[in-house]
Amino acid sequence: MIDDIKDIKIENTYADLGPAFYADARPTAISAPYLVAFNPDTARMLNLAPAVANQPEFLAYFSGNRLLPGSKPVAMRYTGHQFGQYNPDIGDGRAILLGEVRDRDGRLQDLHLKGAGRTAYARIFDGRAVLRSSIREYLCGEAMHGLGIPTTRSLCLVGSDDPVQRETVETAAMLVRVAPSHVRFGSFEPLYEAGETEHIRRLADYVIQRNFPDISKEDEDRYVLWFREVVRRTARLMAQWQAVGFTHGVMNTDNMSIPGLTIDYGPYGFMEAYAPGYVPNHSDRMGRYTFNRQPSIALWNLRVLATVLSPILDKSAAADILEGFAADFETDYLNRMRKKLGLREKMDSDADLVQDLLKIMADAGLDYTIFFRSLSNFTTRTQTPDSACSAATRPEFTRWRKAYRERLKAENSVDAFRKSAMDRINPKFILRSYMAQVAIQKATEERDYSEIDRLRELLSTPFDEHPEMAPYAEEPPEWGRNIELSCSS
């Protein structure tokens, strides 16, 4: 384990690809930096002793005041389709890839400094991140990781009193994001638009070697095999989002990860009252990125990716693979929903059982997380009352409950065993928007960062009971319902 942050070993495999894939960049320091949050779990993953956070060099390295030894910082080049329209002017405008480090399993992990100042891709913008949105991203990365969903994570969050203009004047922050890759669908788009076929091939070979080790570089069909795995991972990620009630908010192609991670947390939201058309981003007036549209938008984005990969990817094979996306998603999603219902076996009627329940939940406005968590208390014994919920007296729920009980009996379900299994798949705690807002207010108004740490620890084990944290498992207060966010979030 590394006890001194100065001993960290930085690699630059992405920078080694050459200047077609990035612009040289150096962080613009924030003044008088202070540590807002440090994630000891991510530190351990990177083989860093938690005590490194106390070293003055740590703060200097991750506030842009000093460069990590051996670092060659770059801003990654990419473009993307934003709300369905191609935008050639994107790229890392406020984030800088400091380099990569080996985690304790020997895998490369990016160190990506968000809020690091203007780069060649910044356009008219200031290149800064604010503390408010940085807290939201820090917390949600850990919440998703705790739920078992692939995601970027964070090592630390550094603040400063430097002013940053958004809707109002806020204070600056830098977030150290950690991920096995930050290559996006959009990373291939400028290469395609410029006709840079060899660069498309080179970037594809790079991500295959780094993030898809089961595919051999000697295989003549490696790009077909790779694209098939990208589609599978994306379908699986969408199934995970849908099963847990997560809405990303801005599923542009530049926010879609090639290795299948959840990246770029902005106006995201975990659904509370179940509503298929839920959208947390008030900028999305047309509802392009609503909860129920996420799988179809993912497929739309994959079609864009297939187009930009067409110089190296067989079009017929790509079309066949894309045709399989729906089946990949539906199979994975239904399997996850079976588990949420405590079903061990597969039956043809399961899809209808799930859809009937979701319709009842939508009509009744049931809290998605609370309902599924409480459903583990359901019993196959008809003489035992079910857990109370606001839909209990609805005729359609009475019918569903009867069908569910018969379905459980058909596989000889044992209540105690089923409850244990369901409580391992249905979280008790999610990152509700009001919870993040409380942490933000305490941090920005009182310089109290304890709520950030409290939430990080709670959300790292969201399936546990945590009786001392019971209020966090309840429905949000009235002021915290249906919070909408902007892209500046």
Active site residues: 254
The CA distance from 239 to 232, in Å, is 11
CB 271 within 8 A of CB 291: yes
The CA distance from 228 to 128, in Å, is 37
Please, what sign has the CA dihedral across residues 230, 233, 235, 238?
negative
The CA distance from 33 to 17, in Å, is 33
Q: Which residues pair with 247 in a beta bridge?
A: 269
The CA distance from 246 to 147, in Å, is 11
Contacts of 243 (CB under 8 A, 6+ apart): 333, 336, 337, 340
Instruction: Write out the two tokens for 409.
Output: 């009996």
The CA distance from 21 to 366, in Å, is 47
Instruction: Write out the two tokens for 69.
Output: 């030894």
The CA distance from 152 to 133, in Å, is 15
Report DSSP letters for 219-234, one per residue: -TTHHHHHHHHHHHHH
CB 332 within 8 A of CB 235: yes
**Long-range contacts of the stretch 409-413 (C-beta < 8 A, 24+):** 409/380, 410/345, 410/347, 411/343, 411/344, 411/345, 413/342, 413/343, 413/344, 413/380
The CA distance from 405 to 393, in Å, is 17
Nearest to 120 by CA among 201, 190, 32: 190
* Helix %, strand %, coil % of the chain (to 5): 45, 15, 40
Identity at 212, one-letter amino acid code: F
Nearest to 94 by CA among 79, 124, 69, 116: 116
CB 404 within 8 A of CB 341: yes
